């Protein structure tokens, strides 16, 4: 009994400490008003982003393209998206970043990313999906928002808090369980519960947030935001319907994404219609 009381008092103190960390680490997304748990500094994020970028570039399998036909449209779109970001609600963050973009020659990989600090990469395999510079702007706008909105830091913070909570509950379950079996079962059950109920939904929120603000940035940069819908329609066709159920996925389904983009499109089009359209061109793989 004495051991249980001591444990209970200790657990209360730990939980209270975690609560203070949560309160102190909360910020509000300027576009959506969503509260974000952020327990790392921007400078730490930028440092991690630079390290990750160096690792990507040093990988011998990641061949940087030297083809002007591939480099020029990517650099052109990246420059316009970055300038749009510097006029956005993320302007302060965008000004801190040292922007850089690399084109990776990999026709089999349809991907792009933007890291904290502004380091970006576009794989040539995304060209057939994007088709046009406006399509590429939808992709790059989405990825840039992940970096500016600090989604990576939020995921790390969520993981830290979830792990701390699981350790507390696991210790409590182990203290009252028989031979440790209840504690192990509780940890296993809460591990699944934490993944489905806490971490994955936030990941889908990040994707939706990046979709929403991404088309606003693309429109601000002078690119037709409607290309984002066409992009995800092509993505859906190429996936062949083989994806796992949305509830157990870290990304929204293609149908959900397209539906949300259509809902947000009037706002994006209102921005686009007041901008000088960016030069439009087909990407190299589809010319």
Nearest to 281 by CA among 105, 98, 76: 76
Is residue 173 in some structural domain?
Answer: yes
Is residue 249 in some structural domain?
Answer: yes
Given the residues 143, 154, 209, 227, select the one marked as catalytic: 143
Residue 143 annotated in active site: yes
Burial of 154 (0-12, 13-18, 19+ CB in 10 A): buried
Q: Tell me the β-bridge partners of 115.
A: 119
Is residue 4 in some structural domain?
Answer: no
Q: How many domains does the chain have?
A: 1
Is residue 219 in some structural domain?
Answer: yes
Is residue 15 in some structural domain?
Answer: no
Give the domain extent around 137: 25-286
Find how far residue 46's CA is from the centre of its chain: 15
Is residue 206 in some structural domain?
Answer: yes
What does pTM read for this prediction?
A: 0.80
Q: What is the DSSP letter of 31?
A: T
The C-alpha torsion from 156 through 158 and 164 to 165, rounded to 10°, is -160
pLDDT of res. 165: 61
pLDDT tens for each residue of the chain, 287 residues long? 555 455 455 555 455 555 545 544 688 999 999 999 998 899 999 999 999 999 988 999 899 999 999 999 999 999 999 999 999 999 999 999 999 999 999 999 999 999 999 999 999 999 999 999 999 999 999 999 999 999 988 988 877 777 666 565 555 555 544 444 444 443 343 344 455 554 555 588 999 999 999 999 999 999 999 999 999 999 888 876 544 455 456 678 889 999 999 999 999 999 999 999 998 999 997 65
Is residue 106 in some structural domain?
Answer: yes
Is residue 6 in some structural domain?
Answer: no
Nearest to 74 by CA among 121, 144, 38: 121
């Amino acid at each position: 009994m004495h051991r249980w009381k001591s444990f209970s008092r200790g657990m209360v103190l730990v939980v209270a400490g975690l609560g203070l960390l949560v309160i102190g680490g909360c910020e509000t997304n300027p576009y959506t008003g969503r509260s974000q748990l952020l327990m790392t500094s921007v400078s730490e994020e930028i440092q991690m982003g630079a390290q990750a970028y160096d690792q990507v570039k040093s990988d011998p399998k990641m061949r940087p393209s030297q083809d002007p036909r591939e480099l020029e449209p990517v650099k052109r779109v990246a420059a316009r998206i970055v300038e749009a970001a510097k006029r956005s609600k993320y302007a302060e963050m965008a000004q801190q970043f040292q922007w850089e973009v690399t084109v990776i020659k990999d026709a089999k990989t349809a991907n792009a990313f933007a890291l904290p600090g502004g380091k970006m990469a576009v794989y040539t395999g995304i060209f057939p999906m994007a088709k046009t510079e406006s399509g590429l702007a939808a992709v790059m706008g989405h990825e840039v928002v992940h970096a500016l909105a600090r989604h990576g830091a939020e995921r790390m913070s969520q993981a830290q808090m979830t792990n701390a909570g699981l350790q507390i509950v696991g210790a409590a379950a182990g203290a009252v369980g028989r031979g440790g079996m209840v504690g192990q079962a509780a940890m296993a059950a809460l591990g699944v519960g934490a993944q489905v109920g806490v971490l994955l939904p936030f990941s889908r929120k990040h994707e939706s947030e990046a979709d929403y603000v991404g088309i606003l940035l693309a429109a601000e940069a002078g690119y037709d935001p409607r290309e984002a819908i066409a992009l995800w329609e092509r993505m859906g066709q190429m996936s062949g319907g083989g994806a796992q159920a949305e509830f157990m996925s870290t990304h929204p389904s293609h149908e959900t994404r397209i539906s949300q983009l259509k809902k947000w499109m009037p706002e994006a089009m209102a921005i686009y219609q007041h901008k000088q359209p960016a030069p439009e061109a087909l990407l190299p793989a589809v010319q």
